[in-house]
A = this chain, B = another copy of it.
Amino acid sequence: MSPVGGPPISPIAALMAVVQTIRVILRCVRNKDIDNDRHVSLLSGPEARRKTLPSLGALGSKNSTGSPIGGPESSAPRAEGRGTWGGNDFSYRLQFPFVGTIGDVAKHAGVSTTTVSRHLAGQKIRSAAAVQASIEALDFRASHTARSLKSGVTRTIGLVVPDVSNPFFATVAKGVESVSRQLELNVFLSNTDENVERERNVLEGLIGRVDGVILVPAREGSNNTGELRRAGVPIVLLDRILTGADDLDSVLVDSRGGAEQAAKHLMSFGHERIGLISGPLDTTPGRERHDGFVEAMQSAGVDLEPALVQIGDFRLKSGYQATLRLLGLPTAVTAIFSANNLMTIGVLRALRHMAVRVPDEVSVVGFDDLELAELLSPPLSVISRPAVEQGVLAMRLLRNRMEDEGPDQAQHIVLDTFITARGSCANLEHPRRLHRKKDKGFAEASPPRTDSNE
């Protein structure tokens, strides 16, 4: 701050200087840098926010022309004042962070804390109007933390997914979030990166912070829910289950059926040498899509030699590399089924880089739709499923557990998948060529189609 009597500065600059000074002081107080003034007590946390206020009044009247802050009975404390600086008049008004307590409201309204608490809980009290007025005057907000401590309830749930940046999980998150907002629950979002270790840490870190968890486990065989369950936290499994945890609610899709649909769809075009790019077999969708596909092939009497089954990790790069391996086989594949969206992108990239034409040379079906699938050339055929709904249902199940409603036995919801046949599959004997379909329709969601031609 420039000394009084120095060069003229604008009112705004002066104001900024005052604000800045007070900020620095606040910061010093928080950092316990000051300890010689009776007005400034050594406090941390919420105390620092509240109790340093009177001293700020004192500082204000010492360092500037601000009027001191009102007594303890005043409403949300503020410092305001006017002054002259470098020949210019200016005024300022500062409102300080203030977290009032139920006790402040009680004092202000002249009742007991009990009465305020009752009012807050929606009970009828005689002095409702006065209490409400005090609450508003003080801009009072009840402390969630204190309530949690007392009630043992956090009104928070955890959503633990392998990867939010996967469009499927992002969509699920949106579904979960929308329901939890209605229920006035907050959502902790955590990524496990498909990693069992990280998952364990994440889940243990949630203990005591959440009333329930929606979990997409990294691996079927690695049950990290023990600590959480011991702590009495309800859990709903989403999209993937945990071996031996049949007592947990779950919301799955019929991955096996979806994979069968994919296999049958490809076989209906005459394909027999179909490459499968599977997810990890120790995840539910990985295993089920693998099994569903393999069984559909077998029951159709088609031989599936081991080299045709490539195991990926649900990430893009693994789909890319698996495709290269499939393309390198002595006898080329004529079709590929990829078990999730990210790997499918990898498949398409690999095919593009190797200059393999789809569907002329290789037909492709992917599990999980993509926003751009329809716009690829050819449009990508996929196994679709209701992703938002999975999130919504999981949240509903969790709510029931949290409220101890609904049946006592575990609920296992399995949603249907459906095939969205676009243009990435073609007849084996008569590979088609592409053309652009003259289609002036307005429909955003195309109905299943299998056309693709030039």
A residues in contact (CB < 8 Å) with B: 20, 23-24, 27, 30-31, 44-49, 76, 95, 97-99, 139, 141, 143-146, 148-154, 156, 159, 163-165, 167, 170-171, 173-174, 177-178, 181, 184, 186-191, 202, 205, 207-209, 229-232, 316-317, 320, 345, 348-349, 352-355, 357, 370-377, 404, 408, 436-444
**Contact of A188 (CB < 8 Å), options: B141, B187, B370, B436:** B187
C-alpha gap A352/B373 in the complex (Å): 13
C-alpha gap A386/B316 in the complex (Å): 19
Task: Please state if B209 and A186 are interface contacts (CB–CB under 8 Å).
Answer: yes
**Given A345-B375, A375-B348: A440 and B149 within 8 A (CB)?**
no
Task: Please state if B353 and A404 are interface contacts (CB–CB under 8 Å).
Answer: no
Instruction: Give the top 4 A-B pairs by smallest Cβ distance, nearest first.
Output: A97-B232, A45-B152, A46-B152, A377-B377
C-alpha gap A249/B145 in the complex (Å): 27
Task: Please state if B374 and A372 are interface contacts (CB–CB under 8 Å).
Answer: no
**Contact of A170 (CB < 8 Å), options: B95, B97, B170, B352:** B170
A115 CB, nearest partner CB in chain B, Å: 22
Jot down 10 A-B pairs with beta carbons below 8 A, ordered by A. A24-B408, A30-B404, A139-B230, A145-B208, A164-B164, A164-B170, A189-B189, A355-B436, A372-B376, A376-B377
Task: Please state if B143 and A149 are interface contacts (CB–CB under 8 Å).
Answer: yes
Task: Please state if A317 and B444 are interface contacts (CB–CB under 8 Å).
Answer: yes
A105 CB, nearest partner CB in chain B, Å: 15
A172 CB, nearest partner CB in chain B, Å: 9
Task: Please state if B144 and A209 are interface contacts (CB–CB under 8 Å).
Answer: yes
Residues from chain B with Cβ under 8 Å of A186 in the complex: 188, 190, 205, 209
Task: Please state if A23 and B408 are interface contacts (CB–CB under 8 Å).
Answer: yes
Closest chain B residue to A50, Cβ basis: B152
Residues from chain B with Cβ under 8 Å of A404 in the complex: 27, 30-31
**Contact of A353 (CB < 8 Å), options: B229, B370, B440:** B440
Task: Please state if B437 and A355 are interface contacts (CB–CB under 8 Å).
Answer: yes
Task: Please state if A152 and B377 are interface contacts (CB–CB under 8 Å).
Answer: no
C-alpha gap A370/B372 in the complex (Å): 9
A414 CB, nearest partner CB in chain B, Å: 23
Residues from chain B with Cβ under 8 Å of A443 in the complex: 353
C-alpha gap A20/B407 in the complex (Å): 12
C-alpha gap A47/B150 in the complex (Å): 10
Task: Please state if B188 and A354 are interface contacts (CB–CB under 8 Å).
Answer: no
Task: Please state if B374 and A376 are interface contacts (CB–CB under 8 Å).
Answer: no
Task: Please state if B149 and A145 are interface contacts (CB–CB under 8 Å).
Answer: yes
Task: Please state if B164 and A165 are interface contacts (CB–CB under 8 Å).
Answer: no
C-alpha gap A348/B349 in the complex (Å): 20
Residues from chain B with Cβ under 8 Å of A317 in the complex: 444
Task: Please state if B173 and A208 are interface contacts (CB–CB under 8 Å).
Answer: no
Task: Please state if A439 and B145 are interface contacts (CB–CB under 8 Å).
Answer: no
**Given A20-B408, A139-B230, A375-B345: A164 and B174 within 8 A (CB)?**
yes
A428 CB, nearest partner CB in chain B, Å: 21
C-alpha gap A156/B190 in the complex (Å): 12
Residues from chain B with Cβ under 8 Å of A229 in the complex: 97
Task: Please state if A189 and B207 are interface contacts (CB–CB under 8 Å).
Answer: no
Task: Please state if B444 and A151 are interface contacts (CB–CB under 8 Å).
Answer: no
Task: Please state if B345 and A372 are interface contacts (CB–CB under 8 Å).
Answer: yes
**Given A49-B232, A178-B191, A189-B173: A165 and B165 within 8 A (CB)?**
no
C-alpha gap A95/B226 in the complex (Å): 11
**Given A31-B404, A143-B208, A375-B349: A191 and B164 within 8 A (CB)?**
no
A121 CB, nearest partner CB in chain B, Å: 14
Residues from chain B with Cβ under 8 Å of A47 in the complex: 152
Residues from chain B with Cβ under 8 Å of A187 in the complex: 188-190
**Contact of A152 (CB < 8 Å), options: B31, B49, B159, B167:** B49
C-alpha gap A374/B377 in the complex (Å): 12
Residues from chain B with Cβ under 8 Å of A156 in the complex: 188
**Given A145-B148, A164-B174, A173-B164: A98 and B230 within 8 A (CB)?**
yes
**Contact of A439 (CB < 8 Å), options: B164, B173, B232, B353:** B353
Task: Please state if A149 and B149 are interface contacts (CB–CB under 8 Å).
Answer: yes
Q: A186-B188, A186-B190, A353-B440 are in contact. List 9 more A-B contacts (CB 8 A).
A: A31-B404, A97-B232, A163-B174, A164-B177, A188-B188, A317-B444, A345-B371, A349-B444, A375-B376
